[in-house]
Amino acid sequence: MGSDVAIGIDLGGTKLAAGVVDDGGRVSLLERGPVGGRSYDAILDLISDTVTRLGDRAAAHGQDVVAVGVATAAFLDADRDIVRHAPNLAWRERPFRADLRHRLGLPVIVENDADAAAWGEYAHGAGRGERCLVLATVGTGLGGGIVVSGALFRGGSGLGAEFGHLGIVPGGRPCRCGARGCLEQYASGTALASAARAAARAESARDSRLLRRAGGDPERIDGPLVVALARDGDPAARGAVEEVGGWLGRGLAQVAAVVDPSLVLVGGGLAEVGDLLLAPTRAAFETSLSLRTVRPASPVRAAALGNLAGVVGAAALARAAGPDATSAVRDLAGAAHAGSDDRRRTCA
């Protein structure tokens, strides 16, 4: 007999990753490809072609694709029907889920990428079964996801857990959202590059490995270069990583004051530096916690699923939605782990 599987898709501004995911969260038949400057309709076609191709390959292995989940870096409405704004794709007010369902002929769910990653970690990763899981995804920007009592928290309008836009420095650096002092401007890959450039400018050209590796031009210092030199022990690069970790820890302490997590996970590309980032994050988190005399410091650990978290999480949410993925979005998260009626009272 064949087995039921879902296809999980992680749609970014420049690339797409898609894989067949079984009920244990294992990914097979993984495909990656560029998105480039494709139009909205061209991206729909790209997803349709990818799903068709993966479905055919899965069928050859005795697997039946029953649903598709798409994780994307976008602001979505509460029911996950409409992409309100996807900055990296230049989309606004697009009926993305209905358009995909029309092309695919399969149940479809759409989820914010960080929220999908949080669900992936809860269902199949380092946060499995946690009472209150917080995930921060530290990449070019800063995303967040929260799972409370077995339900993915989306908020009243669908914009819950946007950690990157916590106001952490009054009147601070301008943010692309229009505000100033948002956490993303201090704790992200972009912030890491900015901190490293400032450190390099403060060093002499002769002493700065960052400057030498960037050909003497501070503007050519980017996140991957800083990470590589930090791993290699460069003091300026490590200092920049520690600065980002400190800001991240202070921001996560604000999140903890509201949701009181049982576990905090850090994922995204920057998390690949491990304790170089996690150690200052933990230290700042613990010293910044409110109610420190009574509140236990939540463990702060690395996420487990790496760059597959969105694929795994989107597929798991699609499986949980069942055949009628067009309704009851609030119940998507509760299906993967059996639980009480209390789960349905959250702002899922």
* CA-to-CA dists, residue 23 to 101, 157, 320, angstroms: 22, 30, 10
β pairing state of 263-267 and 300-302? parallel
Identify residue 251 by its one-letter amino acid code.
G
β pairing state of 151-152 and 263-267? unpaired
Q: What span, in angstroms and rounded, lies between the C-alpha atoms of 23 and 319?
A: 8
Any bridge partners for residue 147, and if so which?
133, 152
Task: Specify the higher pLDDT residue, 45 or 323.
Answer: 45
**Residue 251: pLDDT above 90?**
yes
List all residues 6 or more positions away from 258 whose beta carbon is below 8 Å from its beta carbon: none
**Residue 1: pLDDT above 50?**
no
**Residue 270: pLDDT above 50?**
yes
Residue-level pLDDT at 345: 35
Q: What span, in angstroms and rounded, lies between the C-alpha atoms of 335 and 323?
A: 13
Note whether 3-122+306-345 and 130-302 share their fold: yes
Task: Specify the higher pLDDT residue, 46 or 325.
Answer: 46
CA atoms within 13 A on the CB side of 209: 14
Per residue in 2-14, pLDDT (tens digit) is: 699 999 999 998 9
CA atoms within 13 A on the CB side of 106: 23
Q: Assign 64 to helix, strand or coil.
A: strand
Task: Specify the higher pLDDT residue, 344 or 250.
Answer: 250
Angle subtended at Cα 95 by Cα 11 and Cα 307, rounded to the nearest 5 degrees = 15
Highest mean pLDDT among 87-91, 257-261, 295-299: 257-261
Number of CB atoms found within 10 A of residue 204's CB: 8
Per residue in 133-150, pLDDT (tens digit) is: 999 999 999 999 999 999
DSSP, residue by residue, 76-118? E-TTS--EEEETTTTEEEE-HHHHHHHHH-S-EEEEEHHHHHH
* Per-residue buried b or exposed e for 305-321, using 16+ beta carbons within 10 Å of the residue's own CB: beebbbbbbbbbbbbbb
Per residue in 157-201, pLDDT (tens digit) is: 999 999 999 999 999 999 988 999 999 999 999 999 999 999 988
Cβ pair 333, 317 in contact under 8 A: yes
Helices (H), the chain: 40-60, 96-104, 113-124, 189-202, 209-213, 223-231, 235-259, 275-288, 309-321
Per residue in 69-85, pLDDT (tens digit) is: 999 999 999 999 999 99
Residue-level pLDDT at 205: 64
**Residue 323: pLDDT above 60?**
yes
Residue 305 pLDDT level (bands cut at 50, 70, 90): very high
Residue-level pLDDT at 37: 87
Q: What span, in angstroms and rounded, lies between the C-alpha atoms of 120 and 258?
A: 22
Residue-level pLDDT at 339: 40
Identify residue 238 by its one-letter amino acid code.
R
Task: Determine what percent of the chain is predicted with pLDDT higher than 70.
Answer: 91
Tokens at 239, concatenated: 């200092």
Query: In the chain, where are the structural domains located?
Result: 3-122+306-345, 130-302
DSSP summary character for residue 32: E
Q: Which of 78, 54, 76 has its CA nearest to residue 67?
A: 54
Residue 203 pLDDT level (bands cut at 50, 70, 90): confident
Tokens at 308, concatenated: 């597959």
DSSP summary character for residue 176: T
Task: Determine what percent of the chain is predicted with pLDDT higher than 90.
Answer: 82
Which class is 130-302 in CATH?
Answer: alpha beta
Mean pLDDT of 249-257: 97
Interhelix angle 235-259/189-202, rounded to 10 degrees, is 140
| Residue 110, φ and ψ in degrees, nearest 5 | -125, 135
Lookup result for tokens 């598709």: 68
CATH topology of domain 3-122+306-345: Nucleotidyltransferase; domain 5 (3.30.420)
Sign of CA dihedral 231, 234, 235, 237: negative
Instruction: Give the mean pLDDT of the chain.
Output: 91
**Residue 41: pLDDT above 70?**
yes
Any bridge partners for residue 20, and if so which?
7, 28
**Residue 332: pLDDT above 50?**
no
Residue-level pLDDT at 341: 39
